[in-house]
Amino acid sequence: MEPLTVSSRIESYIPHRGAMRLVDRIVEIDDEHVVAEVDVPFDGLFVRDGQVPPWIGIEYMAQAVSAWAGNRKRASGGAPQAGLLLGTRRYEANCEGFPCGAVLRVEARCEFSASNGLGQFDCRILRDGQELASARISVLDPPAGSDVLQGGAA
């Protein structure tokens, strides 16, 4: 897959829309990693006292991973689809929140991706080169034709 430019439209890579689309741009993406950017809004669902709480960083990471998965789907002729964030390990935030107006760099590197859709990613969030948060996240990107997200048995 070819690297993407900053102008790549995130909506082409993730299913999130409206107020729940928290990631703004893809900066880099390939078979092993994704780098996305977040423009921390001045208003929005999660803004409190001029910042977004640090626990929202988990969703920033998950949406970056969603873009990575969406890129793989697009490369094989499919479209981005909803996945599941199964859990996080060792989420550490080195800040009291993400300040409004900040541009965050969200990096996710695939540690493994199984044929059944399970994956694990090493993630971090940076601002001006300083690491603000890090975690490992586990996800499920259901295989094509699976009805896992519709409540049926796969």
Q: Sketch the domain layout of the chain as residue ranges.
A: 10-143
Are residues 6 and 25 in contact, defined by beta-carbon separation less than 8 angstroms? Answer: yes
Asked if residue 150 has pLDDT above 60, the reply is no
Q: What is the tens place of the pLDDT at every residue in 32-64?
A: 999 999 999 999 899 999 999 999 999 999 999
Second-level CATH architecture of 10-143: Roll (3.10)
Q: Classify residue 129 by its DSSP letter.
A: T
For residue range 96-123, list pLDDT tens digits in order: 999 999 999 999 999 999 988 899 999 9
Of 69-78, 112-121, 142-151, give the range with the top mean pLDDT. 112-121
pLDDT confidence bin for 126, thresholds 50/70/90:
very high
- The reported pTM is 0.86
- Is the predicted pLDDT of residue 149 greater than 80, yes or no? no
> Among 49, 55, 3, which Cα is nearest to 22's?
55
User: Which amino acid, 22?
Assistant: L
Q: Please count the helices (runs of H) and the strands (runs of E) in the chain.
A: 1, 8
Q: Give me the residue label for tokens 């996240």.
A: 137
